[in-house]
């Protein structure tokens, strides 16, 4: 049959294997997110955005694992085990991402390099950066605004986030140009580096609390900062770095566009806004729930930007290998496909490492014609 949108000859199925759009009149190109076609592009799902290689069956397992981790955090807070809750908050998302990297085999044959350069490198840079910031932040003195001095606000709320974004990119970019050509790899490695950075940031910032609090204390108003430390701050650190890495991953091989520049600018602005506005709201004595709401809005916007960038770049940059017989990693059907699974619409460039290697091997043989 002929695709309604790209007008190419495709297998008679629900989705076009070239452009990924459902074969129905009037369908939006944003109705099905490439890595996870069951969701809209502008749906800010955490797991389906930052874990793009997972099939739909595994998505639910990781989603429930995240919910269980957050539930454990609440129980530790209710029991007054604040030290244990802080440690759980620091490691929840990074450990979940380690499990994802192993499950999807994103690293292919280089697990040591990928884990060391991303999570390990991010953790090391986060440790050094946060120690340096902590050492000089108390020496900043100028006119007071809302309880914080102007110089401290400018440095800690503006300069530090920008420097962090520059440093967090280094571990991911060390893997660029190896066996990981797709932008989805840049996203995943950037997220991993950002999550490693968040571990060190949380442990250093709360080192005095971790060492001074007894094993059990009366329940206090810790639940809001714990949720920020466990979910929102790691998501911010991971998503901003992942978005920037995804945007620049193929610079030198493809033209750098206004869209990529806008994504980088938005990521830096989101990081600055998250830290700076949260601090200003806190200094005004406003509700912690309001601060949490602001932080959630920033993170959700960042996730939507990542989904848009990833969806569009997968559609534009997928490698043309002709029609190849393969098993879709999402719906597990044997299909004749080029860029997208014709049955479920998953972008095959976002398949796990094993599936991509099988497909690359098939691509070295003569491609089938339709």
Percent over 70 (pLDDT), the chain: 84
Asked whether the predicted pLDDT for residue 268 surpasses 80, the reply is: yes
The pLDDT score that the predictor gives to residue 228 is: 92
Asked if 183 and 249 count as a contact pair (C-beta separation under 8 A), the reply is yes
Q: How many CB atoms lie within 10 A of CB 227?
A: 20
Cα–Cα nearest to 169, from 187, 143, 149: 187
**Per the structure block, which two tokens stand in for 67?**
């919910």
Answer whether residue 148 is part of any domain. yes
Q: Is residue 12 part of a domain?
A: no
Cβ contacts of residue 15 below 8 Å, gap of 6+? Answer: 21, 22, 23, 32, 37, 340, 341, 342, 343, 344, 345
Per-residue model confidence (pLDDT) at position 355: 53
Q: Can you tell me the mean pLDDT for 103-128?
A: 83
Domain count, the chain: 1
Confidence category of residue 41, pLDDT binned at 50, 70, 90: confident
The boundaries of the domain holding residue 113 are 46-314
Residue 302 pLDDT > 70, yes or no? Answer: yes
Count of Cβ atoms closer than 10 Å to residue 81 Cβ: 18
Question: Which residue from 114, 96, 118 is spatially nearest to 106, judged by alpha carbons?
Answer: 114
122 found inside a domain: yes
H-helix or E-strand spanning residue 199: helix 183-205
Residue 108 has pLDDT above 70, yes or no: no
Determine, yes or no, domain membership for 335. no
322 occurs within a structural domain: no
- Does 125 fall in a domain? yes
Bridge partner list, 36: 33
In this predicted structure, the answer to whether residue 168 has a pLDDT above a threshold of 90 is: yes
- Reported as a single tens digit per residue, the pLDDT across 211-249 is 877 767 776 678 888 999 999 999 999 999 999 999 998
Q: How confident is the model at residue 322 (pLDDT cuts 50, 70, 90)?
A: low
The answer to whether the CB of 9 falls within 8 A of the CB of 318 is: no
Q: What angle do CA 277, 49, 340 make, to 5 degrees?
A: 150
Q: What band does 155 get if pLDDT is binned at 50, 70 and 90? A: confident
How many helices (H) and strands (E) would you count in the chain? 14, 4
Rounded to two decimals, the pTM is 0.85
Of 48-62, 86-100, 161-175, 213-227, least confident by mean pLDDT is 213-227
Q: Give domain status of residue 349, yes or no.
A: no
Nearest to 230 by CA among 118, 126, 98, 96: 96
Q: What is the pLDDT of residue 250?
A: 77
Query: Of 103-107, 234-238, 355-359, which range is least confident?
Result: 355-359
CA 25 to chain centre: 33
Name which of 356, 304, 320, 299 is nearest 55 in CA terms. 356
- Does residue 240 lie within any of the structural domains? yes
Higher pLDDT pick, 97 / 211: 97
């Amino acid at each position: 049959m002929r695709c309604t949108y790209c007008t190419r000859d495709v297998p008679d199925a629900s989705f076009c294997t070239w452009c990924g759009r459902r074969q129905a009149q009037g369908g939006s190109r944003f109705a099905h997110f490439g890595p996870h076609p069951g969701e809209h592009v502008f749906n800010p799902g955490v797991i389906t955005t930052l874990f793009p290689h997972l099939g739909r069956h595994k998505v639910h397992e990781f989603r429930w694992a995240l919910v269980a981790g957050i539930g454990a955090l609440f129980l530790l807070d209710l029991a007054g085990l604040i030290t244990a809750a802080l440690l759980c908050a620091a490691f929840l998302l990074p450990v979940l991402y380690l499990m994802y990297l192993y499950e999807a085999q994103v690293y292919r044959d280089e697990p040591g390099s990928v884990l060391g350069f991303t999570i390990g490198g991010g953790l090391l840079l986060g440790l050094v950066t946060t120690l340096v910031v902590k050492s000089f932040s108390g020496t900043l003195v100028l006119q007071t605004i809302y309880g914080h001095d102007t110089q401290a606000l400018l440095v800690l709320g503006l300069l530090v986030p920008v420097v962090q974004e520059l440093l967090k990119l280094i571990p991911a970019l060390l893997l660029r140009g190896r066996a990981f050509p797709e932008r989805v790899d840049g996203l995943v490695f950037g997220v991993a580096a950002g999550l490693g950075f968040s571990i060190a940031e949380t442990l250093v910032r709360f080192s005095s609390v971790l060492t001074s609090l007894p094993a059990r204390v009366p329940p206090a108003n810790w639940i809001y900062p714990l949720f920020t430390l466990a979910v929102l701050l790691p998501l911010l650190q991971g998503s901003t770095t992942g978005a920037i890495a995804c945007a620049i991953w193929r610079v030198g091989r493809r033209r750098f566009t206004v869209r990529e520049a806008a994504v980088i600018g938005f990521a830096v602005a989101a990081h600055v806004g998250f830290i700076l506005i949260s601090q200003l709201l806190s200094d005004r004595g406003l509700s912690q729930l309001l601060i949490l709401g602001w932080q959630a809005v920033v993170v959700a916007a960042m996730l939507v930007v990542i989904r848009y960038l990833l969806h569009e770049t997968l559609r534009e940059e997928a490698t043309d290998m002709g029609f190849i017989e393969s098993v879709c990693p999402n719906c597990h059907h044997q299909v004749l496909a080029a860029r997208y699974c014709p049955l479920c619409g998953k972008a095959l460039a976002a398949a796990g490492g094993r599936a991509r290697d099988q497909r690359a091997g098939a691509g070295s043989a003569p491609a089938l014609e339709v």
